[in-house]
């Protein structure tokens, strides 16, 4: 794997917050996956990791506290045809109140070309007291691409109520909608962090698996127990996509549930 990197100070200060967009592009050169563009910006510092097999790997490092109120942050990841790419983060993302009551936005855009395999595996997002964050995932997949996406949220730090967190995940495959999910936690109502939904748990997350081949799962599978949390693994309308949704008392137990769900279907996804 070869790569070049750009670290351009293009983030621009704004009276109501920071505006920054980091970009990553992976291409296949006929032999392996290369990274011709690693563009760090604002709080995002992109660093290459040692590849795992034929899979290029990149870690997003946080260079400053973000997102704060009023920030407009974006991360644009493009995995070209036939590439194998994994992107992770070095630490949890912490949504903070900042000096303004304006909401912050964090837009993650993922694109995978034909026969590409993209893994998006960040650390949890922590919603702290007084913060307001609108997070969006916009995913565009080719008909033959593979996707493994994991997102996790922690609603408040220890003994702290959650901030206001809005998350929306939109996935399109070959130009057609595959999943469009919008969830809101914390005041103001309506929100989904009440006892009827989370049962008192503070960690929640999901794992989405999309492959070109059908993933056999005739009915939803329930994993976990009352003390360690619950996870539901269910097929989507597209029989080549599975979604695991979990709640747990801690991020560590949440990760165990999502990993268990992935292990449940790994044999059906030989490309992973």
Token pair for residue 197?
A: 């939904």
Q: What pLDDT was estimated at residue 240?
A: 87
Share the mean pLDDT of the chain: 88
CA separation for the pair 226, 244 (Å, rounded): 17
Question: Per the structure block, which two tokens stand in for 75?
Answer: 């991360």
CA atoms within 13 A on the CB side of 221: 18
Kindly report the number of other CB atoms within 10 A of residue 203's CB atom.
23
Q: How far is CA 23 from the centre of its chain?
A: 15
Q: pLDDT by residue (tens digit) across 142-155?
A: 999 999 999 999 99
pLDDT value for 12? 44
pLDDT band at 6 (very low <50, low <70, confident <90, very high): very low
81-115 burial string, b = 16+ CB within 10 Å, else e?
ebbbbbbebeeebbbbebeeebbbbbbbbbbbbeb
Lowest-pLDDT choice from 80-89, 190-199, 202-211: 190-199
| pTM for this predicted structure | 0.89
Identify the pLDDT of residue 40: 96
pLDDT at 119 over 80: yes
Question: Phi and psi for 265 in degrees, rounded to 5?
Answer: -115, 0
Residue 7 has pLDDT above 80, yes or no: no
Taking residues 93-118, what's their average pLDDT?
93
Confidence of residue 190 (pLDDT cuts 50, 70, 90): low
Distance CA(257)–CA(44), nearest Å, equals 29
8 A C-beta contact, residue 10 and residue 20: yes
Q: With a cut of 80, say whether residue 268 has pLDDT above it.
A: no
Model pLDDT, residue 166: 94
199-248 per-position pLDDT tens digit:
788 999 999 999 998 887 878 899 988 788 999 999 998 788 999 999 99
Which pLDDT score is estimated for 126? 95
Residue 253 to residue 256: CA distance in whole angstroms: 5
Residue 3 has pLDDT above 70, yes or no: no
230 touches 247 (CB < 8 A): yes
Least confident of 15-19, 42-46, 253-257: 15-19
pLDDT higher than 90, residue 159 = no
| Residue with the larger pLDDT of the pair 13 and 114 | 114
* pLDDT (0 to 100) of residue 100: 79
């Amino acid at each position: 794997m070869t790569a070049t990197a750009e670290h351009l100070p293009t983030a621009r200060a704004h009276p109501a917050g920071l505006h920054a967009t980091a970009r990553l592009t992976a291409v296949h050169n006929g032999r392996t996956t290369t990274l011709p563009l690693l563009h760090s910006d604002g709080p995002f510092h992109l660093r290459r990791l040692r590849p795992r097999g034929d899979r290029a790997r990149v870690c997003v490092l946080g260079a400053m506290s973000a997102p704060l109120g009023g920030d407009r942050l974006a991360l644009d990841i493009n995995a070209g045809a036939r590439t194998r790419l994994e992107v992770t983060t070095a630490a949890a993302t912490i949504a903070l109140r900042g000096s303004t009551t304006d909401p912050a936005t964090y837009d993650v855009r993922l694109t995978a070309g034909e026969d590409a395999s993209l893994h998006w595996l960040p650390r949890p997002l922590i919603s702290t007291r007084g913060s307001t964050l609108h997070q969006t995932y916009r995913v565009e997949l080719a008909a033959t691409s593979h996707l493994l996406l994991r997102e996790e949220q922690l609603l408040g730090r220890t003994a702290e109520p959650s901030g206001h967190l809005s998350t929306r995940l939109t996935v399109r495959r070959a130009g057609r909608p595959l999943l469009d999910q919008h969830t809101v936690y914390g005041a103001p109502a309506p929100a989904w962090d009440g006892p009827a939904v989370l049962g008192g748990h503070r960690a929640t997350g999901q794992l989405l698996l999309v492959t070109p081949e059908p993933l056999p799962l005739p009915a939803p599978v329930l994993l976990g127990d009352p003390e360690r949390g619950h996870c539901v693994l269910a097929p989507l309308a597209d029989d080549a996509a599975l979604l695991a949704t979990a709640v747990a008392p801690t991020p560590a137990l949440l990760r165990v549930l999502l990993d268990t769900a992935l292990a449940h279907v790994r044999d059906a996804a030989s490309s992973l």
